[in-house]
Amino acid sequence: MTRPRREAAVGSGPALFPDREVPDGLAMRPSRPFFSRSRRVVRIRMKSFGRRHRPFYRICAMDSRTGRDGTAIEELGHYDPMVRNLEARTVLKVSRIRYWLSVGAQPSEKVAAILKRKNVTKPAPGEDWNVPEPTPTPATPSPSTLTPTPTATAPATATAPAAPAPAGPPAAT
């Protein structure tokens, strides 16, 4: 025995096949999107700061659904395009960026260009994402700087030391 197909709920649009009948016991499923789970993609992108004619950007790990200046998951550095010194223009936390790249974060086009300029790459599978900080080497004096070389110097002239400033309050006139 077959029963006629149920009418769709109000506002859900027309039934796909209104002339077909549905066998008993076959339940109709509501339509659902192809991806049943929400796709949360973390992006590494720039948040805009600064003011007019003076741009400044923070490089952040953010959920892809947040706005440009929305809440960041983590701040990973900054980019100041107005600085003339190219080395100081971009400051990055390389270890944290490599971590976010290793867990699947996608950089925006501009951030990808900055990372390429700074040679920051996604770690290979099994490779540690943590980059060791470079240890500053103490400046060891070379043997040539230890022995003074005789040079002709001008005779030192004695100069009088500068007079100290008065310690009391200024006199009122």
Comparing 30 with 113, which gets the higher pLDDT?
113
Q: Is residue 78 part of a domain?
A: yes
Kindly report, residue by residue over 50-75, the tens digit of the pLDDT.
Answer: 999 999 999 999 998 988 888 999 99
Structure token pair of residue 118: 């700074």
Residue 155 scores a pLDDT above 90? no
Kindly report, residue by residue over 126-143, the tens digit of the pLDDT.
Answer: 888 887 766 666 666 655
Q: Is residue 109 part of a domain?
A: yes
- Angle, CA of 62, 68 and 72, to the nearest 5°: 30
How large is the C-alpha radius of gyration of the chain?
34
CA distances from 19 to 27, 96, 126 (A): 17, 59, 58
Range of 78's domain?
Answer: 42-117
Q: Is residue 154 part of a domain?
A: no
Count of structural domains within the chain:
1
97 CB-contact burial (10 Å; exposed 0-12 / middle 13-18 / buried 19+): buried
Give the CATH number for residue 55. Answer: 3.30.1320.10
> Does the pTM of the predicted model rise above 0.85?
no
Residue 5 scores a pLDDT above 50? yes
Q: Is residue 167 part of a domain?
A: no
